[in-house]
Amino acid sequence: MRPPPDPAALDDLDLLDPRLHAVHDLTPLWRRLRATDPVRRHDRFWSVTRHADVLRVVRDPDTYTSLRGNMLRTLLRGHDPGAGRMIVVTDGPRHAVLRRLLTPGFGPRALGPVTRSITEATKDLLAAFVAGGGGDFVGQVAAQVPLRAICELLGVPERDRQRVLELTAQAMLGEEEADLSARIAQSEILLYYTRLAAERQTSPGDDVISLLVSADLTEEEVLLNCYNLIIGGDETARLAMAGGLLALATHDAQWARLRGDPALVAPATEEILRWTTPAAHVGRVATRTAELGGRRIEAGDVLALWTASANRDETVFDDPDRFDVARQPNRHLTFGHGPHFCLGAQLARAEIQALLSELRATVSRIELTGPVTWLPSSFVNGVVTLPVALT
């Protein structure tokens, strides 16, 4: 497991350094900031680490906007090129329009067949994984299920799915789109969806792309939102599934509790989402002078809302550094809150629940078989490789 940073160095850590997040468990840092400096000023941004302060910001898009972007590195470079056109970086009336447009694509009617497909895919992938003697759980299972689900929601034809899965995996290798191979893959994904959107204009279906092309959106808005859905729709579930399996592998008593009680699948899913917190932070920019946590925030100031810290807040979660598959209540902020609450939350939950249910039914022992590696990213939190054997 990742060691904590040197206690003497906590005040000097560079939170923008992607290697810091890959090498160290920052739990002690978040604990100190919540206790002593919950709204902390850095050279170019504020760190917000308490649950209540994060909630206050995300509930107030008029004062703290996402219109310039929602990732710290992007905000410090200037602004997100998709701002005002892509749902996650849009506020106000335009955001409401995009959300109303996309919501049916993630409703019960649309998710019913996808959920059934998820269950079957999870069963098949786990069976193959066990039969093959194990391997890298991230690449062989956790990366496959959510991408297949998103491909179904977007109406990607079966013949194209393997290539789309490969491109999407490649697109997420770089830190904040800095890696050349990741940028090339991102461009190829956009080109693919350009062609698919053109097909949907003449032959619409029941998928999300058909919803987008049938609305009053520009071609660029359609493409940006497709890209956001397939990238964002993969990350939370993939990283939560992998991190959840790692947590079960390293907490034998909790795995035994889950195996013994099917009623724990739902609360265990929420605990995995809290424990893993795949999006370590979300970014906002102040539109006017405001007070937050006793500090004066000026118009134009950049804020990093550290969800990874808020999900361990002692004032909200009892014994927050304990992994507890029966934890209730569990008011985690993994899916955000307020206007930007994740559209795909129910899909991600269905994917994790399908995994836990199948693990309970077919696996007795989870054993780590090699070193675990972590993503070098200040934005996305999770494991890159997870070598395990399932008995």
Transcribe 149-166 into DSSP letters. Answer: HHHHHHT--GGGHHHHHH
d(CA 16, CA 3): 18
Q: What is the mean pLDDT of residues 312-319?
A: 98
Q: Which helix (H) or strand (E) element contains residue 41?
A: strand 39-41
Residue 182 has pLDDT above 90, yes or no: no
Which pLDDT score is estimated for 173?
57
Reported confidence tier of residue 227, pLDDT bands at 50, 70, 90: confident
Topology annotation, domain 7-390: Cytochrome p450 (1.10.630)
| Of the ranges 186-190, 192-196, 369-373, the best mean pLDDT one | 369-373
Q: For the ranges 196-210, 218-232, 239-253, which has the lowest average pLDDT? A: 218-232
Task: Judge whether 64 and 303 are in contact, CB under 8 Å.
Answer: yes
> pLDDT tens digits for 30-86?
999 999 999 999 999 999 999 999 999 999 999 999 999 999 999 999 888 889 999
pLDDT at 177: 44
Give percent of the chain with pLDDT exceeding 90: 72
CA gap 334, 317 in Å, rounded: 14
Comparing 223-232, 263-272, 376-385, the range with the smallest average pLDDT is 223-232
Mean pLDDT for all residues in the chain? 92
* 3-state secondary structure at position 185: helix
Residue 261 has pLDDT above 50, yes or no: yes
Q: Report in angstroms the alpha-carbon separations of 327 from 5, 277, 374.
A: 28, 16, 26
Identity of the highest mean pLDDT range in 161-170, 227-236, 351-360: 351-360
Q: What is the pLDDT of residue 269?
A: 98
Residues composing the chain: 391
Q: What average pLDDT does the segment 234-239 reach?
A: 87
Residue with the bigger pLDDT between 183 and 96: it is 96
pLDDT of residue 180: 78
CB 130 within 8 A of CB 390: yes
Q: 176 falls in which pLDDT band (50, 70, 90)?
A: very low
Please report which confidence band the pLDDT of residue 312 belongs to, taking 50, 70 and 90 as the band edges: very high
Average pLDDT over residues 293-303: 98
Mean pLDDT of 109-124: 93
pLDDT given at position 178: 52
Q: What is the pTM of this model?
A: 0.94
Residue 175 predicted with pLDDT over 70: no
